[in-house]
Amino acid sequence: MELIRIGDKLISLERLQQAIEDILRYRSQGASQTDVAGRFNVDRSFVSRLETLGEIRRGRSLALIGFPVANPKAIQDLCEQEGVDFCWVMTDQERRNFAQQLNGIELVNEIMRVAGVLRTFDVVILLASNARVRLMEALLDTKIVIPVILGQTPLTEDIWVEIQELEHIIRSVKLAGEL
């Protein structure tokens, strides 16, 4: 346990970190700053300042999912650089391996689980074939979906995604979220 002495007080960094995580987790679940302040016996302005100190960006939450792509590492790097909240891209072989390791029921359950995760984001960028894009748009009907059609279904080979074009889309979404 790491401790810091400030005057006659002994402060536990682990305890402080846990309290901050609890406060922010409660806020992320939809509680107001006032509710959180009351629950944790702190001022509302303290909760606001914590959020400001840790803020990476403002705007809409953003997810990106894509398959089959020839340059998944470059897309993942771009997503990390641009602060995309969720990024899942696969080559054709990775996609096939993923599907083959699950039985039919498990695969349907996993698709529904991923769709549920994607529904938590404000905007979802989909990189896929035309039929896969239409399917995901239907599953995510309440969200803003930005389709990037990689080709006609079925795609049986990896498709190169132009990073500059994808960067433009991501930045446009982020800029629109700040307005």
Q: How do the domains of the chain map onto residue ranges?
A: 3-54, 62-178
**pLDDT computed for residue 141 by the predictor:** 76
**pLDDT computed for residue 179 by the predictor:** 40
What pTM value is reported for the model? 0.68
- In CATH, the number for domain 62-178 is 3.40.50
Going through the chain in order, the beta strands assigned E by DSSP cover: 3-6, 9-12, 62-66, 86-89, 123-129, 144-151
Taking residues 42-56, report their average pLDDT: 85
**H or E element that contains 4:** strand 3-6
Judge whether residue 58 has pLDDT over 70: no
- Strand partners for 89: 66
Higher pLDDT, 175 or 96: 96
Which amino acid is it at 144?
I
Q: How confident is the model at residue 86 (pLDDT cuts 50, 70, 90)?
A: very high
* R_g over Cα of the chain: 21
Judge whether residue 68 has pLDDT over 80: yes
Judge whether residue 150 has pLDDT over 50: yes
